[in-house]
Chain A
Amino acid sequence: MPLPEVVYAQASPTSMGGTSLFATGARIRAANVPSFFASAGVVRAAERALKRAGFKVLNVAPTTINIAGPPDLYESVFQTELFTEEREVVKLLGTPDTATFVETRDTDMPGLIDTSNSPVANVVEGVAIERPVYYMAPNAYPPPKAYWHLRVPGDVSMGLGADAVHRRMGLTGKGVNVVMVDSGWFAHPYFVGRGYRASVGLGPGAMNINLDGSGHGTGESANLYALAPDIEFTMMKMSFFNSTAAFNAAVALQPDIISVSWGTDVEKPPLGAADRALAASVAAAVESGIIVVAASGNGQFSFPGQHPDVISAGGVYMEEDGALQASSYASGFPSKIFSRRNTPDVSGLVGMAPNGTYIALPVEPSSEMDTVFGGGAHPAKDETKTDDGWAMFSGTSAAAPQLAGICALMKEANPNLTPKDARDILKRTARDVKKGKNAMGHRAKAGRDVATGAGLADAQKAVQAAARRR
């Protein structure tokens, strides 16, 4: 097997206790772990040195610094040689198999790079190569179901008018950086098979870079790829107790677009402290030129979905014959926090109440989405197994990355596009929806309304309009 394009590793800043994290014979437990912490000064120095050497620093913690870079960078900085090795492992569902590990012959410890001959030797005591995980248990194809639903990428792309952009205009999101702040990203065979590129960063407090125990982020990212398959995608995995910090970490990457498929339920003022901080972060991001797309909620008065600077994503249901109506699962409302702010601005494809079971999305097997939606009859459940790595869900959580994907296409067509341009164009070019009621009982009618905003986004018209603004 060839080496991967990017190798992830944990660099250990020199431990305060004098014994390296990798050299100790002791078991590391809560009682003795402080002696393996590095001082704040050493951590900062190590982070600077690693960045200077060319590594991307994904996360900094007192015991390890998560880094990423191409294999040849490791080889030149650490005077080492990397190679791959197939080893026997037990994969999901107890299946014996082999997996590919990135290895070095530097030390007797598997996966440990010796840093003593490198420019970071005085502040980094060792570098542990992450073990790549190749779960092959889930099928790359979704299970067939008799009820009407959408499949990624084709149905979602076609429903939003992106196929024509891909084929006739040759735009697929190339060179556009999109960050999704969500529950994590699992390298599902669906993504691997389609050759989508992804990197994962850990937001403050988040762990387990290869896992997505929720399944939400993994699934929703498939909506983004359906619209813009060649984007430079980063999942910023968040701690559920530190969502603003994860958003801040996403902003620090200075991407073109940030997609947010979550929020808090805030009907009336005042905003709490954390929401005020998030409001300031959103405003700062947009002011710096980042397009922020946020879900308007699934029956909630969502924040940041009602922030005036975001593109607020609502929901439209497309029937089997292509007819459109407002999604009875999606939020849309006049904000009581921000005057003259109606959400959503524009809508993506979203299922109907009770649970929005609509789009077949890949998830980590046995994750929360797999378990919650599987194992029962449609429409309350999705009739898939609870451990098959597929779940049918949507909500405005799906609409946000769909719109973010269209923004990526627009940005490729016109790199000078501002956040305001993107929102104006999406609203001006959307397909009006005149039927149905949203989750809050607001009726769709001719023209703009709070049921669906300007209606269903139209990628082709939006991208053409963006290109004309160059």
Chain B
Amino acid sequence: MPPPRRRPRREADRPAAALAILPQGQSDDEVREFFEQAGFAVGPTVGISFSIEAPEPLMKETFPDFDGRPRELSLRKVPRKVRRRLDSVVVERPPDFGPFGPP
């Protein structure tokens, strides 16, 4: 593990982003379309996941419990027919090693 941290140089705040995870074998069309139409920037689907990115107000409107911290986000504001095709949406926790996470 790295030695204890001192005050490092910090970078500016990041835009709001999360990872949308699909059930295994599920087509991504309807879910991607929902996020695209809602105004999210949607990343490529690789395996069973793709990124969603939006200004923070839109992210909070869609996921009221979004606060930028690692967690699985509540899908209650996502339409039921999309929710059925979505496993989860998560803000990932930073890696345990490698580049250091935020303080």
Contact = CB atoms under 8 A, between A and B. Distances in A.
B76 interface: no
Interface string A367-389: 11001110100001100001000
Interface in B53-87: 53-55, 57, 68-70, 72, 87
B11 interface: yes
Could you say which interface size class chain A belongs to?
35 or more
B47 A62 contact: no
A300 B97 contact: yes
B93 A264 contact: yes
A44 B91 CA distance: 24
Interface string A431-461: 0000000000000000000000000000000
Contacts of B7: 371
Interface in A271-313: 273-274, 276-285, 295, 297-300, 302
A280 B50 CA distance: 11
A372 B5 contact: yes
A355 interface: yes
B96 interface: yes
A280 B22 CA distance: 11
A62 B90 contact: no
> Interface majority SS on B: helix, strand, loop or mixed?
loop
Interface in A293-336: 295, 297-300, 302
Contacts of B11: 207-208, 211, 213
A90 interface: no
Interface in B36-63: 36-41, 43-55, 57
Contacts of A23: none
Contacts of B47: 248, 277-284
Contacts of A183: 98-99
A182 B99 CA distance: 7
A241 B14 contact: yes
Nearest to A263: B95
A400 to B, nearest CB: 9
A240 B44 contact: no
Contact of A205 (B16, B70, B93, B99): B16
Contacts of A248: 43-47, 49-51
Contact of B15 (A61, A244, A273, A386): A61
A34 B59 CA distance: 13
Interface in A190-212: 203-208, 211
Contacts of B52: 204
A177 B84 CA distance: 38
Contacts of A355: 1-3
A232 interface: no
A267 to B, nearest CB: 11
Given A240-B99, A248-B44, A213 B9 contact: yes
A155 interface: no
B19 A264 contact: no
Contacts of A238: 99
Interface of B: 1-19, 21, 24, 36-41, 43-55, 57, 68-70, 72, 87-88, 90-102
Interface of A: 33-34, 37, 39-40, 43-44, 60-62, 182-183, 203-208, 211, 213-214, 216-217, 238-245, 247-249, 251-252, 261-265, 273-274, 276-285, 295, 297-300, 302, 354-355, 364, 366-368, 371-373, 375, 380-381, 386, 393, 395, 397
14 contacts: A62-B55, A203-B51, A207-B15, A216-B98, A239-B14, A241-B70, A249-B43, A251-B44, A251-B46, A276-B21, A355-B1, A364-B9, A372-B2, A395-B97
